[in-house]
Amino acid sequence: MRNRLPAHRTPLDHVRMRPGRRVILGVDVGASAVRAAAFALDGTARHVARREYPLLQPVPGWQVQDPDVLVAATLEATSACVADTAGAEVVALAMSSAMYGLIGLGAAMTPVTPLLTRADSRSSEAACDLRISGQGRELHRLTGTPVHPMSPLCKLMWFARHEPYLCTATRWWIGLKDYLLYRLTGKLVTELSSASGTGMFDVHRRAWSRPVLDLVGVSESQLPPVLPTTASLRLSATAGRAVGLPSGTPVVVGAGDGPSRNLGAAAIDSNVGNLSLGATGALRTVVAAPLVDATETLVCDALTEDAWVVGGAVRNGGNVVRWAGRALAPDLDHAAPTLLDLAERIPPGSDGLVMLPYLLADPAGGSEPPGAYLGLRSEHSRGHLVRAAVEGVCLQFGVVLDRVAELTPISTVRLTGDAFRSPLWRAVMAAVLDRPVQVAGAGDDATLGAAALGLFAIGLAPDLKGAVTQLDPGRARAEPIAVDPALAAAYRGLRAKLPALVSAAGRVGEILDEVMAGRPVGLNAPAPP
C-alpha cells in the first residue's frame, strides 16, 4: 500500500484555550450538521464542536428538516464550544449556513412549514415551466440564481399552486440563516449573501425585485430586510443563557456556506478558484461584481458588497466512489488494499472505460443521462471501475471550470476536502483541470470563513484575507501539486469526447425509458447530432 497523508488535523485543533485569551466563534449550520469553532485571535489555538441532525423525506422528492431541531443543535454545538474555551473572552459569534432553504413563519413567529432544503425537488415542474416559457434566462440574469428546484423562487411557486391556504396563513417567508438569527437575537433580518440566493433579489440593484415578487405572489413586506454580511446584531439574554455567553455579545450575520468556504480556503484573490469536494462538490471563484453565464447553470452569490462568488455545484462527487466501495468491494476491510490503491495501478483513461457518474439525478430534470459505464470489457477489474469513477467525477469539475473560465480567468485552483488526502484524487484532478493546483486542507472552511468575516466586520482585521491568516496562519500556505503533462494530455482527449458520450448515453436512457414504459422503440432512428 502506498503511503497516505495523515488524516487532516492541524496542530491548532482541540487545544484548550487559556484564560484571558481572546477568541471568535464561527458557526456553520450545514445540510446534515452544525459545526461551531472557537478561533484564538492570535492564531495559536481553536476548538471545534459538531452536532448532527436528520434529513427527512416524507414524500419522494421532498427533503425537509425541522427548523427548531437545527436551532437546538446550533445552541448545543455553540455551548460545547464555549465551555471548552476555558474562560477565554469571546469577542463575537459569526454565522454561516446552508443556502437556498425556505421556511414559512406565522404571525406568532413560529414555523408553519418545515425547512425545505436545497435538495427538495418538489418544485421541478415550476422550474421547468419557467425555462420553457423563456422567463428562466431573464430571471437568472436579474438574480444570479439559476431557475432550479433548489431556488426559493420555485419553492414559493409550488406553494402558490399546491397549498394556497398555507400561503394566506404565512406572515413571513425566510431562509435558514434568517431563522437562526431570529432565535439568537430576536431580530428578523436576512443578509446580502442569503438574499442573493433566493432567486428574488436583483443583484445589480441590491434590492428585492418587485416584478419577481409579483410573479410568485409574495409582497416585500413578507420578506426580511436585507443587511450587509458584515452587519452585527446582539445576542439575546435567552440565547446567551443557552450557550453560556453574555447577552449583547456581537452576532455577525455573515454569509452563506458557499461564499464562506471560499473565504475559509483563502481563495478570494483574482483568478484563484476553490474546489471543495465531499459527497458533493463545487468550484467557485470570487469576482468584484455579479457575473451571469450564458449556460444558465452557474450561481452568483454575495460574500460582501464588493466580493461575489460565482461557480457551479457537482451533485455527484465523493459519493460516487463511496457507492463503488459498497457495490464493488463490500469484502474489503481496513487491513486489505483500499479501492483507491487498486485504482492507482490502472493507467490513465482506465483502458478505455469511461464512467458517467450521474448516480443522483438533477432534480431540475436537466440534460444529464443516467449514470453509466461505457466501454466495459472482460479485462476490466475493480480497479478500472473505481479509477473510471474518480476520472468521471473530475471530468465534471472540468466542465464547471470551463464555464467559470468563460466569465473570468482562473489561473490557480485550491483544492479542499478530505478526498484530496489521496494521491490519486490529487493527480487526476490536477491533470483534468490542467492548471496549477494547491491542496489547502479539509474540514472547516465554512467555520473559518465565518469567523474571518466576523473578525473583519468588528474591525479586528484589516481585510478579509488578513483575517483568515490571522486566525489560521497556515491556511494561506498550501501544498502545490504539479500537473503531469502526459496525464493532462490524456484527459484533454477524453474531455473533448465527453459531450458526444453524454449525448449518446442520453439517447440510450430515453430508449430504456420507452422500453420500461412498454412503448414501441425506434432503435434504428438516427443518432442526435
190 and 69 belong to one structural domain: yes
Judge whether 447 lies within some domain. Answer: yes
Q: What is the mean pLDDT of the segment spanning 112-121?
A: 96
Q: Using one digit for the tens of pLDDT, what is the confidence trace for 402-422?
A: 999 999 999 999 999 888 989
Question: What is the band of 19 on the pLDDT scale with cuts at 50, 70, 90?
Answer: low
Judge whether 292 lies within some domain. Answer: no
Number of domains forming the structure of the chain? 2
CB 25 within 8 A of CB 36: yes
Q: Which pLDDT value is given to residue 13?
A: 47
Question: What is the band of 443 on the pLDDT scale with cuts at 50, 70, 90?
Answer: low
How far, in Å, CA of 363 to CA of 61, rounded?
8
Judge whether 6 lies within some domain. Answer: no
Q: Using one digit for the tens of pLDDT, what is the confidence trace for 95-111?
A: 999 999 999 999 999 99
CB 175 within 8 A of CB 192: no
Whether 384 has a pLDDT exceeding 80, the answer reads: yes
Closest-CA residue to 311 (of 269, 265, 357, 262): 262
Whether 256 has a pLDDT exceeding 90, the answer reads: yes
Q: Which pLDDT value is given to residue 4?
A: 32
468 and 380 belong to one structural domain: no
CB 414 within 8 A of CB 437: yes
186 and 201 belong to one structural domain: yes
How far, in Å, CA of 317 to CA of 419, rounded?
10
Are β-strands 437-439 and 412-416 bridged in parallel, bridged antiparallel, or unpaired? parallel
Domain that residue 222 falls in: 22-266+440-481
Whether 397 has a pLDDT exceeding 80, the answer reads: yes
The conformational region for residue 20 under phi > 0 = left, psi -120 to 50 = alpha, else beta, is left
State how far the alpha carbon of 432 is from the alpha carbons of 273, 275, 369, 489, 494, in Å.
14, 13, 21, 9, 9
Burial class (CB in 10 A: 0-12, 13-18, 19+), 518: exposed
Q: What is the mean pLDDT of the segment spanning 218-225?
A: 97
Percent over 90 (pLDDT), the chain:
74
Q: Which three cell numbers stand for residue 322?
A: 463511496
Q: Any long-range contacts for 233-239 (C-beta under 8 Å, 24+ apart)?
A: 233/181, 233/184, 233/185, 233/187, 233/189, 234/185, 235/93, 235/184, 235/185, 236/184, 236/185, 236/186, 239/75, 239/183, 239/184, 239/185
Whether 440 has a pLDDT exceeding 90, the answer reads: no
Q: Which pLDDT value is given to residue 7?
A: 33
CATH of the domain at 145: 3.30.420.40
Are β-strands 226-227 and 232-234 bridged in parallel, bridged antiparallel, or unpaired? unpaired
How far, in Å, CA of 325 to CA of 328, rounded?
6
Q: What is the mean pLDDT of the segment spanning 461-475?
A: 92
Question: What is the band of 296 on the pLDDT scale with cuts at 50, 70, 90?
Answer: confident
For Cα atoms 54, 55, 56, give the angle at the middle one, nearest 5 degrees: 110
31 and 169 belong to one structural domain: yes
Q: Which pLDDT value is given to residue 425?
A: 95
Burial class (CB in 10 A: 0-12, 13-18, 19+), 238: exposed
488 and 477 belong to one structural domain: no
Mean pLDDT for all residues in the chain = 89
174 and 46 belong to one structural domain: yes
Q: Which pLDDT value is given to residue 45?
A: 85
Judge whether 458 lies within some domain. Answer: yes
Percent over 70 (pLDDT), the chain:
91
Q: Which pLDDT value is given to residue 36?
A: 97
Q: Which pLDDT value is given to residue 52?
A: 96
For the chain, how long is the longest CA-to-CA vector?
77
Q: Which three cell numbers stand for residue 140?
A: 437568472
229 and 364 belong to one structural domain: no
The conformational region for residue 434 under phi > 0 = left, psi -120 to 50 = alpha, else beta, is left
488 and 468 belong to one structural domain: no
Q: What is the mean pLDDT of the segment spanning 333-338?
A: 55
Whether 337 has a pLDDT exceeding 90, the answer reads: no
Find the helix packing angle between 135-143 and 124-133, rounded to 10°: 100
Q: Which pLDDT value is given to residue 111?
A: 97
Whether 346 has a pLDDT exceeding 90, the answer reads: yes
Judge whether 470 lies within some domain. Answer: yes
Whether 528 has a pLDDT exceeding 80, the answer reads: no
Whether 524 has a pLDDT exceeding 80, the answer reads: no
- Provide φ and ψ at 449, rounded to 5°: -65, -40
Closest-CA residue to 243 (of 304, 185, 291): 185
Judge whether 173 lies within some domain. Answer: yes
> Which H or E element spans position 122?
none
Exposure string (b/e) for 310-346, b if CB count within 10 Å is 16 or more?
bbbbbbbbbbbbebbbeebbeeeeeeeebbbbbbbeb
- Provide φ and ψ at 272, rounded to 5°: -110, 125
Q: Using one digit for the tens of pLDDT, what is the confidence trace for 50-95?
A: 999 999 999 999 999 999 999 999 999 999 999 998 789 999 999 9
Highest-scoring range by mean pLDDT, 131-140, 175-184, 478-487: 175-184
Judge whether 520 lies within some domain. Answer: no
How far, in Å, CA of 418 to CA of 48, rounded?
17
**Higher local confidence (pLDDT), 164 or 5:** 164
Q: Which pLDDT value is given to residue 17?
A: 57
242 and 322 belong to one structural domain: no
Q: Which pLDDT value is given to residue 514?
A: 72
Collapse the DSSP code of 272 into the 3-class scheme (helix H, G, I; strand E, B; otherwise coil) and give the result: strand
- Comparing 182-191, 423-432, 496-505, the range with the smallest average pLDDT is 496-505
95 and 242 belong to one structural domain: yes
pTM: 0.90
Q: Which three cell numbers stand for residue 505?
A: 448515453
120 and 90 belong to one structural domain: yes
Judge whether 392 lies within some domain. Answer: yes
Q: Which three cell numbers stand for residue 449?
A: 470563513
Whether 233 has a pLDDT exceeding 70, the answer reads: yes
245 and 325 belong to one structural domain: no
Q: Which pLDDT value is given to residue 332?
A: 65
How far, in Å, CA of 397 to CA of 283, rounded?
7
